Copies of this chain bind each other. A is one copy, B any other.
């Protein structure tokens, strides 16, 4: 059922393999975000899942939650140091996706509504790093 906890790869996999988790980290890597910003950026996530992930990430100590008791309640999420340590992993994924999966988009919160620019990169380059 669960992975072997002694294995560093397994332990990380356990965190990482939940759906959306990595994308949440990716969004938070750029900047702190609010619940609804994440919800909009991660098109297709259900608020329940987002809530669950955020809670889990917070319990793991990778995300810090900050509440502002304002008029429309504001809650911001930001990566802790432990969470930021996952960013290189995300960068690897980005490189991989670009090189081998022909995914050209930016998909960062900044690049929201520009779609369809990929010049059909299907055959990946034959070299590997």
Give every chain B residue within 8 A of A86 (Cβ-Cβ): 96
Give every chain B residue within 8 A of A107 (Cβ-Cβ): 4, 6-10
* Cα separation A90 to B54 with both chains bound (whole Å): 24
Give every chain B residue within 8 A of A4 (Cβ-Cβ): 43, 105, 107
The quantity of this chain's copies bound in the complex is: 2
Is B92 a contact of A92 with CB atoms below 8 Å? yes
Q: How large is the interface on A (under 10, 10 to 19, 20 to 34, 35 or more residues)?
A: 35 or more
Interface of A toward B, CB cutoff 8 Å = 1-13, 15-19, 21-23, 26, 43-44, 81-82, 84-86, 88-90, 92-101, 103-107, 115-116, 118, 124, 126, 128-129
Give every chain B residue within 8 A of A1 (Cβ-Cβ): 44
Is A26 a contact of B44 with CB atoms below 8 Å? no
Give every chain B residue within 8 A of A12 (Cβ-Cβ): 93-94, 96-97, 101, 103
Is B92 a contact of A88 with CB atoms below 8 Å? yes
Is B85 a contact of A7 with CB atoms below 8 Å? no
